[in-house]
Homo-oligomer: A and B are copies of this chain.
Amino acid sequence: MGRDALGEFEHLIMLAILRLGPEAYGVPIIDEVEARTGRTVSEAAAYLTLRRLEEKGWIKSRVGEPTPERGGRAKRYFKLLPVGVRRLRESRTALVQMWDGVAAELDR
């Protein structure tokens, strides 16, 4: 694949990070994608994708403090980097251009 391909799942994960803002860590990211798309998201798939996105330099993570709850390993928070935002926008633009004019037909 090209050096800057963005798969559908990567796309969804990045959008979840964008939506969640400062509360973007593993579990809510998974919940957000599941809630909005209706598809099941396995933990491993999500965390693996998050690591790959970081290796590509599109997102960045930091480890937070453990919270005083019943259980609780420290959370890893994610945020989009400018390059990631740009890539996401490009991908969206491509799809919007292709959908232009046929979206209505698709819904019949």
Query: Copy number in this complex?
Result: 2
Which of B16, B97, B107 has a CB less than 8 Å from the CB of A37?
Answer: B97
Beta-carbon contact of B98 and A85 below 8 Å: no
Beta-carbon contact of A106 and B88 below 8 Å: yes
Residues of chain B with a CB closer than 8 A to A11's CB: 8, 95
- Given A103-B92, A106-B18, A106-B92: A98 and B8 within 8 A (CB)? no
- Given A103-B92, A106-B92: A98 and B16 within 8 A (CB)? yes
Number of residues in A with C-beta < 8 Å to the partner? 33
Nearest-Cβ distance from residue A18 to partner chain B, whole angstroms: 5
Alpha-carbon distance between A107 and B90 when the two chains are bound, in angstroms: 10
